[in-house]
Amino acid sequence: MTSRRVQRLNEQLKREISEVLRREVDDPRIGRPTITDVEVTPDLDVARVFVQFEKDGPDSEGVMHGLQGAAPFIRKELGKALRLRRIPELRFREDRTLERATRIERILREVLPEESEEGEGGAESGGGEETP
């Protein structure tokens, strides 16, 4: 279980990294990624930064290379904004949560019968049995 301090740091890093990317980083490879989550290791040495980006935008490999290239600059900016003895090393990861959720939903729709078919049949049989 993560401590409150680590949870607060995760949220603060998420906000600050988003701001730095929005205001300071002007790399065409990156575009406008969305920081979805930050997970700092318990020893506060490394921060995994999860990002999502537009599918119609730059390719994912280019975005990830751009973010890794901008990581030292982002760390420097975080050092100015945060009161930490040591800023964690930033490791960017593509957030595929939405992709996975969509895939699971599609599989469930294929495997399970549709609720609308069951709901319509049950309403017809239950609606005619009223007693006066």
Reply yes or no on whether the pLDDT at 113 is more than 80.
no
Report pLDDT digits (tens) over 35-62. 999 999 988 899 999 998 776 656 778 8
Reply yes or no on whether the pLDDT at 132 is more than 80.
no
Distance (Å, rounded) from C-alpha 18 to C-alpha 12? Answer: 10
Q: How much is the pLDDT for 119?
A: 52
Distance (Å, rounded) from C-alpha 120 to C-alpha 106? Answer: 22
Structural domains of the chain ordered from first start: 4-115 (3.30.300.20)
Nearest to 75, CA basis, from 6, 5, 20, 38? 20
Distance (Å, rounded) from C-alpha 104 to C-alpha 110? Answer: 10
What is the overall mean pLDDT for the chain? 81
Q: How much is the pLDDT for 26?
A: 78
Reply yes or no on whether the pLDDT at 85 is more than 90.
no
Q: How many CA atoms lie within 13 A of 126 on its CB side?
A: 6
Structure tokens at 132: 């006066």
Report pLDDT digits (tens) over 87-103. 999 999 988 887 788 88
Structure tokens at 94: 């593509």
Q: Which residue has the higher pLDDT, 99 or 9?
A: 9
Give 3-state DSSP helix, strand, coil % of the chain, rounded to 5: 55, 15, 30
pTM: 0.71
Nearest to 85, CA basis, from 56, 117, 44? 44
